[in-house]
Amino acid sequence: MIDLAPILAKFPTVKHDAAANALIVPQALALEVAKWLRDDPAYRMDYASNVAGVDTLPVEKKTKVKQPDGTEREVVTKKPGSMEVVYHLYSMALKHGPITIKQVTTRENPAVTSLTPIYRGAEFQEREAFDLFGIQFEGHPDLRRILMWDEFKDFPMRKDYVEPDDYEYEPTPHDAVLAKAKAHYPKASTSTEAAS
């Protein structure tokens, strides 16, 4: 396992997510941290193998708390939802890794810093996260849809995505899709309508 202590010492605002063994990097420092990881002789993280979007819905947790008088009171804690972009970095030169770094943003206005200027191979993967999750990558050289068509209005990998029942675009609907698509087909005229 790679020692993350020097990174945390150099960048005090970077947090360590012990459960995921990942570094949570503030967006304002993302390029600086990525460049340092790439250029530092002890790390030489010269390859971004994977860029992934993660959508976390808001969570409401209810717990019972015992009161001094012996009664119980229900306490509700709310954790807001978030969007994350996770990068797995490796060193091809030193043959070690990964170091996982995350940028965390809100679900309402998801925007992070693009690492494409440091890792050119992240370009298409950031576009995929933009296309499927709606995450904006500030500083990306060509941020546009890569999988969905330009007119598509939503982000299908978000957990609150509602699948449409309008399948007119599917040339040969089948199974459950066929039943939904039939609701959008033109109504066949009846024999009485045809006679008039």
- Secondary structure of residue 62 in the 3-state scheme: strand
The end-to-end CA distance of the chain, in Å, is 80
The residues spanned by each domain of the chain are 5-55+82-159, 162-190
70 confidence band (pLDDT: 50, 70, 90): confident
The values of phi and psi at residue 59, to 5°, are -125, 135
Assigned CATH for 5-55+82-159:
3.30.460.80
CA 14, 19, 22, 24 dihedral sign is: negative
Q: What is the pLDDT of residues 105-163, one digit of tens each?
A: 999 999 999 999 999 999 999 999 999 999 999 999 999 999 998 888 899 999 999 88
Q: What is the pLDDT of residues 27-68, one digit of tens each?
A: 999 999 999 999 999 999 999 999 999 999 999 999 988 888
Predicted local confidence at residue 151, as pLDDT: 86
% of the chain with per-residue pLDDT over 90? 68
Q: Which residue has the tokens 């860029």?
A: 51
Q: Which residue has the tokens 């040969």?
A: 172
Q: What is the pTM of this model?
A: 0.80
Predicted local confidence at residue 185, as pLDDT: 72
Cα–Cα dist 23/102, whole Å: 6
Predicted local confidence at residue 180, as pLDDT: 72
Tokens of 168: 């007119």
Residue type, 184: H
Specify the higher pLDDT residue, 112 or 175: 112
171 confidence band (pLDDT: 50, 70, 90): low
